[in-house]
Amino acid sequence: MTHHGGFEPVFCTIIPPHVLDHVARHEDSAIAERVARTLEHDSAQRTRRRVNALRGLAAAAPTAPSGKPNRTIYDAGHGTNLPGRKVHSEDDGPSKDATVNRAHAGLGATFDLFLNVYGRDSIDGSGLPLDATVHYDRDYDNAFWDGQQMVFGDGDGELFLDFTIPVDVIGHELAHGVTQYTANLEYYGQSGALNESVSDVFGALIKQYALGQTADQADWLIGAGLLGPAIDRGEALRSMKDPGTAYDDDVLGKDPQPGHMDDYVRTSRDNGGVHINSGIPNRAFYFLATALGGNAWEKAGQVWYDVLTGGELATDADFVAFAGLTVAAAKARYGEGEVEKAVLEAWQKVGVPTA
């Protein structure tokens, strides 16, 4: 059973609004102004997505699955009209523009993981063409999936660098597309935090798969390499291993992610804390992957993928419901034993009951 994925696109950005809100209040007016523009842009985009969702967007015409990616990169030329000018097709050789090449490679790395590991042909499972726009707007400090394509800002060079640099950022955003076409998790509260966490999980797995890293070798950071020279104390946007430790900086503020239900953040901001409380299921996945050892995309990733695509996950699922389904999925695929036990223990460690 698939849900009505594709009809309720959510505007999902990699830099959470609470981070930009904090920076926009910075005493350095140049820094604050740059980020305020990004915030204004994102707020307008969110409103536009809601209007489109209410109207009901037409589903993309199915394409014949080929088992090969079909990537097209566009250049917005620092404007905001999408998709922009077509600059690179699937069969073209490398571009002179490193950003184009990174976008192309990141789309490919995402496609490869889903096809080779889970047998899923592109984002929708039916060979959906993968489109991305680079050089979007000026000093734009974000990247997003808009329900149909990827869009990358160049960053402002001080706070954030080019958003095509971390492959897990590309994977994270495209994974929102996979969720859209499968469980279609509502982007609010715990179901929204699960939506964000699933994107972090697959973003991390895409990076690990591309680098050939085991669970023990991986850094479990999301967005490492993205923070610019103005950030003194920060290594990434989020840490799945140790939520709340990715940054503690004068400009960015302190990473607010909890790693346990005892510290769950109740807030109306950030769609009910979707980028904040995602730290809890993120850490559960990290515990599972490292307990099982080896490649995280194999057993741990398979369990998460089975839940996302199994048709049992309600669009408004909370952490307890998701955790229970991961236990059932582990048992269904691997029987009673090591994997099921590790799943139970992982959720126990972050204070989420599985019954």
Q: Which residues contact 159 (CB under 8 A, 6 or more apart)?
A: 23, 31, 34, 35, 141, 227, 228, 230, 231, 251, 252
Q: Which residues contact 186 (CB under 8 A, 6 or more apart)?
A: 192, 195, 315, 316
Whole-number Cα distances in Å, 212 to 70, 208, 217: 24, 6, 9
Angle at which helices 299-309 and 338-349 cross, to 10°: 80
Catalytic residue among 3, 88, 104, 173: 173
104 is catalytic: no
Q: Letter for the amino acid at 231?
A: I
Q: Give one DSSP letter per residue of 180-219, joined into a string.
A: HHTT---SSHHHHHHHHHHHHHHHHHHHHHHHT--TTT--
How far is it, in rounded angstroms, from Cα 58 to Cα 30? Answer: 41
Q: Which residues contact 97 (CB under 8 A, 6 or more apart)?
A: 75, 87, 134
The candidate with the shortest Cα–Cα distance to 250, out of 217, 272, 227, 270, is 227
How far is it, in rounded angstroms, from Cα 327 to Cα 323? Answer: 7
For 264, the token pair is 């769950």
275 is catalytic: yes
How far is it, in rounded angstroms, from Cα 318 to Cα 340? Answer: 20
For 35, the token pair is 């980020």
Residues with catalytic roles: 173, 275
